């Protein structure tokens, strides 16, 4: 079978995301052999030549890439091309045709829109004018609208040029190895799928605190906020992977259908079940209004109204300038209906049993449960089993999130990408919150958010901060 060449047309090729993630990622995919036949056509409004773009790319991969990948730089650099933005559709078409000369096999064109949201439709129009839309794929960055009306309008305009099957709405959260591990964990093990149910699960937390502030992104963030920036595009997508029914297969269409069923089953977000916060000092940042009501923190409780999850609360939390950065999914199991253990035995003192997924780059899982303390009497302690992804020597097996998603898009695998239907449904259930947001409460930088989060989660407690730290598997005996 003829090898497919991939032409990546990188819009916004000189921007921050391109320099930090996309150019180093493309080099890594090339070096690892996953995308061996690749051509990259960069374009932006900045003035460049192919030579100066190659120089910029070299600086980017040297600063942000893996040193091991640099041995492939010389060969990779010959595959970089430049399309001057000032030359419009004709210049773009000419650059792509030049990159694709001397190749008579099948070809995949992947247009990556690393551009501000307001520029996305202009790029789509240029691709149509350049006759580069037909048969190609387009990768889009969030946000996918800011409410239901804007999402419907955006999708309508996209669909005039691209079929839905050509559109890849990227969510780097789902590119994490651990996010896909949820599917393997649930559906590959007879031990866990039978208890993945309201009969056994008490509540679920998806917790993504961040230490970073907003000094560099304040102007963007002022019009967005934590809910639109993180919850709709990231946390709800993770929720769908946790909550979906067993798909008929692992095909992208089958998994996306089950994800959309989850979204259709979600109840509208109740503003009374939402805590919004803003870290102290945010209003002092240049570009932020003195009386800004933009939330830099949000915590909420939501429900999925179907047979599997009826009555099980899902708690979501994310914010900037918090105590630590983490990406945790925590499944809390129901406690036994009654205790036969003597008073002060310790049972129940440390809360319910938890299954915890750490979505950090080094994926980890833990299962906590009660066990007897050695010695006389019946004293119970909370124990935990922890699992860490093992190191590997093959570069292709450790892909950064953007690398995995670019690779999937090049292969035509839409499993980890959002659909128009799903995005529009999420904005639909968000409407009550967007129309009637609760007040923004201040919180200290380096804290876990406003105090009202404890009332929101009561009678439970937030899993973060952990009482016990993750163990380092390399130092365990």
How many Å apart are CA 333 and CA 382, to the nearest integer?
Answer: 14
The rounded distance, in Å, linking the Cα atoms of 427 and 457 is 24
Q: Which of 422, 142, 150 is nearest to 265 (CA)?
A: 422
Tell me how far apart the alpha carbons of residues 337 and 474 are, in angstroms, rounded to a whole number: 38
15 is annotated as contributing to ligand binding? yes
Quick one: which of 137, 152, 194, 37 has its CA closest to 412?
A: 137
Cis bond upstream, residue 41 (ω within 30): no
Side-chain-side CA neighbours of residue 29 (13 Å): 26
C-alpha distances out from residue 225 to 239, 290, 437, Å: 20, 16, 12
379 and 347 in contact (C-beta within 8 Å)? no
Which entry of 48, 81, 111, 234 is annotated as an active-site residue? 234
Please tell me whether 13 is known to bind a ligand: yes
> 16 among the known binding-site residues?
yes
Q: Report whether 104 belongs to an annotated binding site.
A: no
200 annotated active-site = no
Is 48 annotated to bind a ligand? Reply is no
Question: Is 18 labelled as part of a ligand binding site?
Answer: yes
The DSSP secondary-structure symbol of 332 reads E
Q: For 464, phi and psi rounded to 5 degrees?
A: -95, 140
210 is in an annotated binding site: yes
Tokens representing 210 are: 């961040």
What is residue 161's DSSP assignment?
T
For residue 119, say whether it is annotated as part of any ligand binding site. no
Which 3 state secondary structure label does DSSP give 150? helix
66 is in an annotated binding site: no
176 appears as a binding residue in the annotation: yes
**Known binding residues:** 12-19, 142, 172, 176, 210, 229, 320
**Known binding residues for substrate:** 172, 176, 210, 229, 320
Active site residues: 234
**Known binding residues for NADP(+):** 12-19, 142
């Amino acid at each position: 079978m003829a090898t497919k060449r991939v032409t990546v047309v990188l819009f916004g090729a000189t921007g921050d995301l391109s320099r930090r993630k996309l150019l180093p990622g493309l080099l890594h995919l090339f070096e690892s052999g996953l995308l061996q036949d690749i051509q990259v056509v960069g374009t932006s409004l900045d003035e460049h030549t192919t030579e100066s773009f190659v120089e910029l790319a070299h600086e980017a991969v040297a600063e942000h890439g893996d040193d091991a990948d640099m041995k492939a730089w010389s060969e990779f650099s010959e595959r970089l091309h430049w399309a001057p933005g000032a030359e419009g559709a004709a210049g773009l078409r000419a650059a792509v045709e030049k990159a694709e000369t001397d190749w008579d096999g099948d070809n995949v064109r992947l247009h990556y829109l690393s551009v501000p949201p307001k520029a996305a439709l202009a790029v789509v129009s240029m691709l149509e004018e350049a006759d580069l839309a037909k048969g190609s794929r387009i990768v889009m960055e969030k946000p996918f609208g800011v409410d239901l009306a804007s999402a419907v309008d955006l999708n309508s305009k996209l669909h005039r040029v691209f079929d839905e099957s050509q559109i890849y709405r990227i969510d780097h959260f789902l590119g994490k190895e651990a996010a896909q591990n949820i599917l393997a964990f649930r559906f590959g093990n007879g031990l866990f799928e039978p208890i993945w149910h309201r009969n056994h699960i008490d509540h679920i937390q998806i917790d993504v605190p961040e230490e970073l502030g907003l000094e560099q992104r304040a102007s963007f963030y002022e019009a967005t906020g934590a809910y639109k920036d993180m919850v709709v595009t990231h946390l709800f997508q993770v929720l769908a992977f946790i909550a979906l029914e067993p798909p008929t297969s692992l095909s992208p269409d089958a998994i996306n259908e089950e994800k959309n069923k989850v979204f259709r089953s979600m109840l509208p977000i109740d503003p009374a079940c939402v805590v919004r916060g803003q870290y102290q000092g945010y209003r002092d940042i240049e570009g932020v209004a003195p009386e800004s009501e933009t939330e830099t923190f949000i915590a909420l409780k939501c429900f999925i109204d179907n047979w599997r999850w009826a009555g099980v609360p899902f708690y979501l939390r994310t914010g900037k300038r918090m105590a630590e950065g983490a990406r945790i999914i925590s499944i809390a199991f129901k406690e036994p209906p009654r205790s036969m253990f003597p008073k002060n035995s310790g049972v129940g003192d440390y809360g319910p049993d938890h299954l915890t997924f750490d979505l950090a780059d080094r994926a980890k899982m833990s299962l906590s449960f009660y066990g007897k303390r050695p010695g006389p009497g019946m004293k119970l302690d909370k124990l935990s089993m922890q699992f860490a992804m093992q190191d590997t020597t093959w570069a292709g097996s450790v892909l950064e999130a953007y690398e995995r998603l670019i690779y999937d898009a090049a292969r035509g695998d839409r499993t980890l990408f959002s659909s128009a239907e799903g995005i529009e449904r999420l904005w639909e259930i968000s409407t009550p919150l967007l129309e009637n947001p609760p007040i923004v409460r201040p919180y200290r930088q380096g804290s876990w958010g406003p105090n009202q989060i404890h009332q929101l989660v009561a009678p439970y407690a937030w899993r973060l901060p952990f009482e016990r730290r993750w163990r380092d598997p390399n130092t365990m005996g």
